[in-house]
Amino acid sequence: MNTIMTAMLGFLISGTVNAKEKHHAHEHGKVELDIAIDDKKVSIELESPAESIYGFEHEAKTDVQKKTRDDAVAKLNSDASKFFVFDSKLNCQIVTKSVEPFVVEEQDHSSKGGKKHHHSGGEHSEVHAEFEATCGASPVGTELSVDLGSAFPKMKKVKVQVVGDKSQRGSVLAKGKGKVRL
């Protein structure tokens, strides 16, 4: 990633972390989607309350909960091309880079109030996933169709931030579906 893109992505991520630290908000149904464009590469980061993906926030305990979790993680790992559809002329190939099925964020008082991540049961756990697309042409100026809501109907609102070499924009998608201008 070039230096400008790295700096912009760092600014976007630090702004998101700072906003979360200030408000400590954890709203069920509200998902964050950060999209960074660097020439022909697109990085997509998803942060969602576990409840919006699985229907519960605690670590899966019963066989039914474990199956629900495993099915959702399998969808995140295999269905990236259904969740994020680029203009076919761009010839984009999208893959899932990682899925963290339960992330609990706590205040870390030992290091200047930063956050530490650990994986365990908790009242306010999240799911984090990273996707990456490589396109035949730059997707800047095109639209990305997002459809997370069909697979995860508890998603009520997806807050999207898009950062490119020359622009930054945001939008909100109702019910986890809609088009995002890149």
pLDDT of residue 67 exceeding 90, the answer is: yes
Residue 34 is predicted with a pLDDT of: 98
Neighbours of 166 (CB within 10 A): 9
pLDDT of residue 43: 98
**Which pLDDT score is estimated for 61?**
93
Residue 23 pLDDT greater than 80, yes or no: no
Query: What is the per-residue pLDDT across 92-105, written as a single tens digit (0 to 9) for each?
Result: 999 999 999 988 85
* Pair 96, 77: CB distance under 8 Å: yes
The number of domains in the chain is 1
Please check the confidence at residue 5 and state whether its pLDDT lies above 80. no
Q: Which residue has the tokens 């474990």?
A: 66
Residue-number span of the structural domain to which 105 is assigned: 3-181
- Nearest in space to 60 (alpha carbons), one of 71, 69, 51: 69
For the stretch 119-175, pLDDT in tens is: 344 457 999 999 999 999 999 999 999 999 999 999 999 999 999 988 899 999 999
The distance from CA 26 to its chain's CA centroid, rounded to whole angstroms, is 15
pTM: predicted TM-score of the whole model, two decimal places: 0.78
**Which range has the top average pLDDT, 25-29, 31-35, 119-123?**
31-35
pLDDT band, very low/low/confident/very high, at 29 (cuts 50, 70, 90)? confident
26 pLDDT tier (thresholds 50, 70, 90): low
